[in-house]
Amino acid sequence: MKTNFKKLFFFTLIVAIFAFFGCANMEAAKMKQLESQMKQKNQQIETLESNVKDRDAALEQYMGQLNETEKAKLDAEMRAKMAEEKSMQSSQSSNLSSETALLPSGANPGECYARVFIPPTFRTNTEQVLAKEAAERIEVIPAKYEWVEEKVLTKEASSRVEQVPAEYKWVSEKILVEPAHTGWKKGRGLIEKVDNTTGEIMCLVEVPAKYKTVKRQVMVNPPRTRKIEIPAAYQTVKVRKLVSEPQERRIPIPAEYQTVTKTRQATEGTMEWRRVLCETNVTPETISRLQNALANSGFDPGPIDGVLGGETQGAIKSYQRSKGLATGGLTYETMKSLGI
């Protein structure tokens, strides 16, 4: 399959060169331009070969996810298609008009097409299946008891005689320390003592009595006896009493159903021509917008430089696979999905 892709791409390249440049009598300037175009085409061929490898890897990954029956079915269909293409190629003549029948029809100048892999589509069906049949369960309801509280006499009422000691209190009282009396005290007059010839003034005065405060205990209540009544003592205990007898009841168990989701393949993966953007018909500004859109969608295109390089192409493939889009070229469907 890879060889067929290479042949087809080389053939497309040759036809494009002849259609664009003509077949004879080119001027020197046109020859230089042709050489430049050839270099660009060689780069495109390398890119296309890389895309073919990626498509093969995607196909192998898809094949790895299928079971043996699906693999055999897909392999048989691919063999049939390859045989059909081989038969068509062998039946065609060697002239250009017959060979161009393999290319997209109705193409306009400046348009590019690529054989891309259209991934298969799957349909998910949800249905209910019986998981467990209806049944009956016998449930035994045990006897029901409850705990109630009751008071139980633990000690009879009684009395006892208690000795109450005398009660005292502290009181303060004044006692006489020194009774009142009279005594002489130096006094002062109009004329003070000047020398030894003059006399001193002495006054007879009354000295009041002196008291001090002392504390002593005084009995307030004499010792006595008293009778104390001791009430009866009770204890609260819990007693288990039967409330309801044991019972038996039958409980119906409804059937159980389970929701099962099955995914079935709706359409096969196919290869077909799709209109694409490439270096021939795209501007650096468009590539820059593409790179920005990929980066905003979480796919790293490398530097935003307006060049459709390897990192950008890798980001395109990753985006196409995540969205279930056709892989193998920068299709207009991909550009629309990115909002460009």
The Cα-based distances of 78 to 38, 59, 145, 269, 292 in angstroms read 33, 11, 78, 10, 37
**Buried/exposed 175-203: b ≥16 CB within 10 Å, e otherwise:** eeeeeeeeeeeeeeeeeeeeeeeeeeeee
- Strand-pairing partners, residue 176, are 211
Give CA–CA dist 318/323, Å, rounded.
9
Q: What is the pLDDT of residue 318?
A: 92
Is residue 293 over pLDDT 80?
Answer: yes
Is residue 161 over pLDDT 70?
Answer: yes
pLDDT digits (tens, 9 = 90+) for 83-123: 676 666 555 444 444 444 467 777 777 778 887 888 887 78
Both tokens of 100, joined, read 């161009």
Domain edges within the chain = 2-128+261-337, 141-250
> What proportion of the chain, given as a percentage, has pLDDT over 90?
9
DSSP string of 235-293?
A: EEEEEEEEEE--EEEEEEE--EEEEEEEEEEEE--EEEEEEEE-TTS--HHHHHHHHHH
Q: What is the pLDDT of residue 158?
A: 87
pLDDT digits (tens, 9 = 90+) for 206-231: 888 888 888 888 888 888 888 888 89
Q: What is the pLDDT of residue 32?
A: 60
How sure is the predictor about 30, in pLDDT bands with cuts at 50, 70 and 90? very low
Give CA–CA dist 119/206, Å, rounded.
137
117 and 326 Cβ atoms separated by less than 8 Å: yes
Give CA–CA dist 113/332, Å, rounded.
10
Side-chain half-sphere exposure of 18, counting CA atoms within 13 A? 9
